[in-house]
Each structure stands twice: as structure tokens, then as C-alpha cells.
Amino acid sequence: MTHDTAAHQDRSAPHADSPEASPEVRAAAESMRRLVDAVGSVVVGQHAMVERLLIGMLTGGHVLLEGVPGLAKTLTVSALAGAIDGEFSRIQFTPDLLPADLVGTLIFNPRESTFSTRKGPVFANIVLADEINRTTPRTQTALLEAMSDGSVSIDGTVHMLPPPFIVLATQNPYEFEGTYLLPENQLDRFLMRISLGYPSPEREATLLDVRPAQTVLDGLAPVLSAADIVELQAQVDKVKLSEPIREYIVRFARATREHESFEIGLSPRGSLALAHAARATAAMDGRDHVVPEDVIENIIPVCAHRVFLRGDSGFSNWNAAASVLEETLRTVGSPV
């Protein structure tokens, strides 16, 4: 079991029936529940991953999924895209993929002697960057602009990407042949990094019986639209972050910067990402305010890829970084 799996609370559904929830919060949580259930009808044994992906989508953040082949990473993203009525694009990252293959290029029309813009596959609401660490740093840089700014440059002209725009990337472990290390600044643009483990024997036995990829995915109907996702994102932004919770996040970030094991602690962007993820977690539980558990649950997936251990490249020793983060968290008093 990975640190991320252990830290996640396995919720069967958001608590939309909470007596303190307003009608708007109840409606938003019910929409999230429908989306989780739809994806869960296709993907067996990866409930935590589905909820993490939804948290990323609700915050407008990008998510990186890492694990060995065969853990349903691509299937899960495809199911999530199938449950949303929006533009979906799957890009297979390979060593020969060029920036123009990703963002697009100008096409010359010899009859009219004019150029027209041919937009690339990155112009979509949900972009599956499959095996993202198999392409070159030059192409990674083109994707970085899209992830950080929500726009791309084609021959000097900036083009805005359609809202919502979310990159859901998969990658195999770095020791696999033909993979590249992702640049640190690109890692920091991912709201979460999710490390996937094998399913339990019971869930794997169920998987052998239902064969979801063959029997369910093709018939999956959308339950929400792209516009619905934008509205849910606005609802998440309204979730209250009290002063004690804000201080809790800041104290944790400062503790990582002062910890002797870390060369680089959590940045202000990391603190902001942790607050966003906590808001989305609260919204999924049908609450209009963040509680300490919402922060704690997101510490590892949001922070472990943003800190660097002394004498190590950081990301290559992610489990060690996660252990130090858990140790650091125990030193920071939780607000009541």
C-alpha cells in the first residue's frame, strides 16, 4: 500500500445529506456523487484514484498518475472523460512527439497565399497525456505553458484553451526503459501526484469477473457537461477556509522549510494547492467549510512531489519524502 492510498479516506459518496449543507452545496455534492458513481461503474478497485481525479478537476488542477502498466490509469481517465459531455483528447507521448504535434501549427494555403491555424490535440477540456515521461524536454516545455497559463503560442500568437482545461497525465516509473525525468517546474504545475498500488485480492477477483473495459465503457453516457464542471469549480471556490485552517496550512509549510531532511520545503504555490484540494474535499463531503481532516487527507498527494530531500533528486524518492511529510505533520498542532 502506498502512502497516498493509506492516507485517503475511502468515502462511498459525498455527504450531501449533511444537515448543515445549503441547497447549493447539496446540489453540487449530488452532482459529484453522480460523476464518481459513473466512473466507478467502469473502474473496479480504484475508488481513491477516481476521487483524487475529481478533486483535481474541481479545482482546475492537473493530476499525475504513476504506476506500473496494467493498473487502469488510462481506463480511469477515459471513463471520466466519457462521463462528461465535453472535448476529450488522448495524446500518446513518444520520443518523436514534437511541440507542433501537441499545440498545432500554421498551414499555408497556396491558392490564397494565406496561413491558417491548425489547432493541436491540446485544445480540449480533458487532455489525457499518456505516458508523459516518454517524450523529450522540448515537448514538455510546450505542455508546460498550457498547464500553467491555460494558453499556447502558435507562431507567436497566443491562443486560449477552452474552459475547463485539465491535463490528466499517466507515467510509468522512471526506472522503466525510455523514460525521461519531468522538470521540477512542470511537476509543480500538477496539483496532485497519485502513486497507484495493486488492488486487493477481492477487488482483483471482481475485476476478472466483470471485465469493465469490454462491457461498460462503450455504453457510458455523460452525466455532466463541461459547463457543469465550470459551475462546480465556482461552487468549490466558495467553500470557506477559516483563519485557523489557513494558519494550519502555513505552519505546516513553514515546518517543511525548516525540517533538516528537506533541501527544499513546500512553496507558497504548494500551500495554495493544498488549500484548493481541501476546499474540493469539503465540497465532495457536502460541506461549505474546510475541516482539518480535509487538509490532512491531501498532504501526501499534493505535497510529496513538491519537496526535495537533502542529497536526493526528490521525486525519485517520493515514498521517503512522503514519510518525512507525515513526520512533519505530527509536529504541527491541528486546530480544533
In whole angstroms, give the CA distance from residue 170 to residue 68.
10
Single-letter residue type at 264: I
The 10s digit of each residue's pLDDT in 196-235 is: 877 778 777 777 776 655 566 777 889 999 999 999 999 9
The 10s digit of each residue's pLDDT in 96-143 is: 999 999 999 988 778 887 888 899 999 999 999 998 988 888 888 889
pLDDT at 195 exceeding the cut of 90: no
In whole angstroms, give the CA distance from residue 73 to residue 67.
8
Task: State how beta strands 157-160 and 151-154 pair.
Answer: antiparallel
The 10s digit of each residue's pLDDT in 23-45 is: 888 888 999 999 999 998 888 77
CA dihedral 151, 57, 167, 146 (to 10 degrees): 10
pLDDT at 16 exceeding the cut of 70: no
- pLDDT of res. 175: 60
Residue 28, H or E segment: helix 23-40
- pLDDT of res. 13: 42
In whole angstroms, give the CA distance from residue 307 to residue 264.
6
Between 223 and 13, whose confidence is greater?
A: 223
At 6, the pLDDT band (50, 70, 90 cuts) reads very low
- pLDDT of res. 14: 44
Backbone angles phi, psi at 171, to 5 degrees: -155, 150
CA 51, chain centre distance (Å): 10
The 10s digit of each residue's pLDDT in 49-75 is: 889 999 999 999 999 998 877 777 888
State the DSSP string of 96-108.
T--HHHHHEEEEE
Average pLDDT over residues 81-109: 91
What contacts 149, CB < 8 A, 6 or more positions away? Answer: none
Instruction: Please give the grid coordinates belonging to residue 14.
Output: 459525498
pLDDT at 91 exceeding the cut of 50: yes
What contacts 146, CB < 8 A, 6 or more positions away? Answer: 103, 122, 152, 161, 165, 167
User: Using an 8 Å Cβ cutoff, are 250 and 267 in contact?
Assistant: no
User: Using an 8 Å Cβ cutoff, are 127 and 121 in contact?
Assistant: yes
Instruction: Please give the grid coordinates belonging to residue 44.
Output: 473496479
Q: Report how far apart the first and last C-alpha atoms of the chain are (Å, whole number).
A: 30
> Phi-psi bin for 163: left (phi > 0), alpha (psi -120 to 50), beta?
beta
The 10s digit of each residue's pLDDT in 286-314 is: 999 999 999 999 999 999 999 988 876 44
In whole angstroms, give the CA distance from residue 22 to residue 27.
9
* Mean pLDDT computed over every residue of the chain: 85
CA 100, chain centre distance (Å): 25
DSSP 222: P
At 330, the pLDDT band (50, 70, 90 cuts) reads very high
DSSP 123: -
The 10s digit of each residue's pLDDT in 153-181 is: 888 889 999 999 999 999 877 666 666 77
At 275, the pLDDT band (50, 70, 90 cuts) reads very high
In whole angstroms, give the CA distance from residue 326 to residue 331.
9
pLDDT at 250 exceeding the cut of 90: yes
Between 255 and 206, whose confidence is greater?
A: 255
In whole angstroms, give the CA distance from residue 298 to residue 245.
14
Q: Three-state SS for 113?
A: coil
pLDDT at 4 exceeding the cut of 60: no
pLDDT at 95 exceeding the cut of 50: yes
- pLDDT of res. 8: 52
* Three state DSSP letters for 158-192: EEECCCCCEEEEEECCCCCCCCCCCCHHHHCCEEE
- pLDDT of res. 1: 39
At 324, the pLDDT band (50, 70, 90 cuts) reads very high
Q: Domains of the chain (ranges plus CATH)?
A: 3-238 (3.40.50.300)
> Using N-to-C axis directions, what is the helix angle for 318-330 and 292-303, rounded to 10°?
150
